[in-house]
């Protein structure tokens, strides 16, 4: 009842201002209302075993072999907070530029780490002391999630992402977590299949829309051809320029 009152209030506020064309309500359950809905997104959740030994057994020989490959190349990881932030951001911002996506500022991640000292931390994978993969982790009670993760493209042939994700799952088990949230994906996409191989199961997401007039549901994502030219142009920007102007753009993106 309270949720519906808040939704109704949001719609009424937008109707009065005439500043917005739509409202997007991201939800995890079906709502019995007449709003248009998108169902192409799912959350990928892995129920964790009690020990890392059981995790290795559950993953199977193929995944274990992929995890060992970067170790043979000298890969190792370190966890931390502020002392790992520069290395994390070096990997993350370069990867975002290469994907054609405006990046958050380094201060954005600093503030999360600062405000949630017991819940947020970083993991960085190194080869020969060079950061090659990194992730931002958040734990709440017995659930760990990975809202941001990136790798350096030229090291992907070693499978550094496999080593990093396995290390993250080990950390989650060691910290007493019972489930791991890989984040959302579009069904049957590359990231969906990557998460599925770890044994994650999908949880349906429902994105509801209030739309002004008879407009269609907006498709604000990289797969929209409307943004293809902008994405390709962004990939060619020098990293320093992308990191400078990106934070001013990304705050306006859903």
pLDDT tens digit string along 126-148? Answer: 999 999 999 999 999 999 999 99
32, 89 contact by CB (below 8 A): no
Global pTM reads 0.88
The predicted pLDDT at position 86 comes to 97
The predicted pLDDT at position 31 comes to 82
SS (HEC) of the chain: CHHHHHHHHHHHHHHHHCCCCEEEEEECCCCCCCCCEECCEEEEEEECCCCHHHHHHHHCHHHHHHHHHHHHCCCEEEEECHHHHHHHHHHHHHHHHHHCCCCCCHHHHHHHHHHCCCCEEEEEEEECCEEEEEEEEEEECCEEEEEEEEECHHHHHHCHHHHHHHHHHHHHHHCCCCEEEEEEEECCCHHHHHHHCCCCEEEECEEEEEECCCCCCCCCCCCCHHHHHHHHHHHCCCHHHHHHHHHHHHCCCC
The predicted pLDDT at position 220 comes to 67
The predicted pLDDT at position 215 comes to 85
- Please give the share of the chain, as a percent, with pLDDT higher than 90: 80
The predicted-structure confidence for 79-123, as pLDDT tens digits, reads as follows 999 999 999 999 999 999 999 999 999 999 999 999 999 999 999
The predicted pLDDT at position 231 comes to 87
10-residue block means of pLDDT along the chain (254 residues)? 91 86 90 85 96 92 93 96 97 94 95 96 97 97 96 94 96 97 93 94 94 83 70 90 92 76
> Distances from the Cα of 11 to the Cαs of 7, 15, 17, 18, 110, in angstroms?
6, 6, 10, 11, 33
The predicted pLDDT at position 33 comes to 75
The predicted pLDDT at position 191 comes to 93
């Amino acid at each position: 009842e309270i949720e519906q009152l808040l939704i109704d209030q949001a719609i009424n506020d937008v109707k009065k201002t005439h500043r917005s064309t739509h409202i997007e309500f991201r939800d995890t359950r079906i709502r019995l209302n007449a709003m248009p809905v998108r169902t192409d997104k799912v959350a990928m959740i892995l129920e964790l075993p009690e020990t890392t030994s059981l995790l290795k057994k559950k993953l199977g020989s193929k995944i274990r072999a992929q995890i060992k490959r970067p170790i043979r190349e000298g890969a190792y990881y370190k966890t931390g907070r502020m002392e790992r932030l520069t290395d994390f951001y070096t990997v993350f911002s370069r990867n975002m530029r290469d994907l054609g996506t405006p990046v958050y500022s380094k201060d954005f991640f600093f503030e999360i780490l600062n405000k949630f000292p017991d819940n947020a931390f970083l993991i960085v994978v190194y080869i020969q002391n060079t950061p090659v993969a990194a992730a931002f982790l958040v734990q709440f009670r017995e659930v760990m999630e990975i809202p941001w993760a990136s790798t350096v493209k030229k090291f992907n042939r070693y499978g550094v992402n496999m080593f990093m994700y396995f290390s993250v799952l080990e950390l989650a088990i060691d910290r007493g977590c019972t489930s791991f949230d890989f984040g959302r994906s579009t069904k049957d996409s590359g990231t969906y299949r990557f998460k599925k191989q770890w044994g994650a199961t999908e949880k349906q997401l429902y994105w509801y829309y209030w739309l002004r007039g008879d407009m269609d549901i907006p498709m604000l994502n990289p797969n929209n051809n409307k943004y293809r030219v902008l994405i390709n142009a962004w990939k060619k920007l020098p990293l320093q320029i992308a990191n400078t102007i990106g934070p001013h753009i990304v705050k306006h993106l859903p």
